[in-house]
Structure 1
């Protein structure tokens, strides 16, 4: 029952059929032009979006690097502040004559008259 029929139909060549054929061709050209425009704008939008994503990624990496550097600088600042406090304490202690005498005995093995210095090994 699904027998293919022979299509031996001739087209009428009238003004109406010519106009209808021309309309179909115009519509096909319009569809093709719209598809080309859509593809062009899609590619352009994709390029723009990808460049923005690249820019965002590179800025995020730069921010992370700056945060890491800031963290290291904060640690370095804290260490330098500790050293500063220690050095200020040392300066105050160096104004004391007893401390200077004790320091001279320890570092340079200086002694008072009749005094004997014993050096003990450090642990």
Structure 2
């Protein structure tokens, strides 16, 4: 017996054989059609899942950026609240005339009538005052 010798093969020309060959060809076409349809469904599903995945990933990145901005804003809000509290306290102190007079005497070397001021070497305001008065003369 020889293998693969096509010269020895003969096709039957009967109606039954032709019917069986036609049935077999139809089954093969149906199998190919089903495979192509299944492939098309998988491709469409893959594209849908891929687009949903990309949009979810982008939303996740945007959410992380917004969380960072939120944290920065909260820290800035705390800093501003602390500044506002300090400034409110300063405004309250500046409404007190005794405090304003004390600050004016210590920073700007103002004095009451009959009061003498002795600037010390470590006092920067006193040195600045004497320098500005010497420049104007």
Runs of at least 4 residues off by over 4 Å: none
Whole-Å Cα distance in 1 between the matches of residues 59 and 10 of structure 2?
69
For 1:9 and 1:73, the matched residues in 2 are separated by: 85
User: Displacement, 1:106?
Assistant: 2.6
Normalized per residue, the structure richer in helix is: 2
CA contact (8 A) 1:105 1:111 kept: yes
Q: Shift in Å at residue 56 of structure 1?
A: 0.1
The TM-score with structure 2 as length reference comes to: 0.78
In the alignment, is the contact (CA less than 8 A) between 1:104 and 1:110 conserved in 2? yes
What number of residue pairs does the alignment pair up?
A: 120
Q: TM-score normalised to the size of structure 1?
A: 0.87
User: Where in structure 2 are there 5+ consecutive unaligned residues?
Assistant: 125-137
Unaligned runs of 5+ in 1: none
Alpha-carbon shift at residue 11 of structure 1 (Å): 2.5
Which residue of structure 2 lines up, in the alignment, with residue 86 of structure 1? 86
By relative contact order (CA 8 Å, sep 6+), the higher-ranking structure is: 2
| Mean CA deviation greater in 102-111 or 43-52 | 102-111
How far apart, CA to CA, are the structure 2 residues paired with 1:9 and 1:102?
A: 122
Q: Give the CA RMSD over aligned residues.
A: 1.8
More displaced 10-residue stretch of structure 1: 104-113 or 69-78: 104-113
